[in-house]
């Protein structure tokens, strides 16, 4: 009878040890929801986009307006990783970007030029479109990009 009790005690201790061990493995660091949302926005940005329209906050000087007119429906950007390359009839650019805050279909991004100067924008996904509200001059205004096929 003593042998059965020892086996029972050993079995109970094994179960307790397994339960404690399982509890320890389930403890995970808290999720960083902001980082996850930024990563999701960056993933959704990947690919090729075409400039559909741009509405400046204030009228552009004539030369910039002519440049803009030539680029509508002909300026394409390719986003790969954190790099953006853009090409149209009158302009070629290479930039990097970083997502700031993000939630749902909205995010804020900073695009950096070759000198490290950042241009801030507030962006929204809307179906196959990307709405970009540029905050810095001279391109302060609202652009719409459409995912290119």
Read off the pTM: 0.77
Q: Which residue has the tokens 């399982």?
A: 22
pLDDT tens for 8-48 read 555 544 544 444 444 444 566 677 788 999 999 999 999 99
Q: Which residues contact 49 (CB under 8 A, 6 or more apart)?
A: 76, 77, 78, 79, 130, 145, 146, 147, 148
Residue written as tokens 């900073």?
Answer: 110
Query: What domains are defined for the chain?
Result: 33-147 (2.40.128.20)
Report d(CA 141, CA 136) in Å as an integer. Answer: 8
Closest CA to 109 of 125, 94, 124, 98: 98
User: How confident is the model over 84-139, as pLDDT tens digits?
Assistant: 999 999 899 999 999 999 999 999 999 999 999 999 999 999 999 999 999 988 77
**Any idea how long the chain is?**
149
């Amino acid at each position: 009878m003593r042998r059965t009790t020892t086996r029972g005690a050993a079995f109970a201790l094994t179960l307790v040890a397994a339960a404690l061990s399982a509890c320890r493995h389930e403890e995970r660091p808290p999720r960083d929801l902001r980082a996850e949302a930024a990563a999701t926005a960056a993933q959704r940005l990947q690919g090729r986009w075409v400039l559909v329209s741009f509405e400046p906050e204030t009228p552009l000087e004539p030369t910039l307006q002519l440049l803009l007119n030539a680029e509508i429906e002909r300026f394409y950007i390719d986003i790969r990783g954190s790099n953006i390359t853009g090409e149209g009839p009158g302009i070629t650019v290479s930039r990097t970007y970083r997502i700031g805050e993000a939630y749902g279909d909205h995010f804020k991004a900073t695009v950096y030029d070759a000198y490290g100067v950042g241009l801030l924008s507030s962006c929204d996904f809307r179906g196959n479109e990307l709405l970009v509200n540029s905050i810095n001059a001279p391109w302060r205004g609202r652009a719409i990009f459409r995912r290119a096929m």
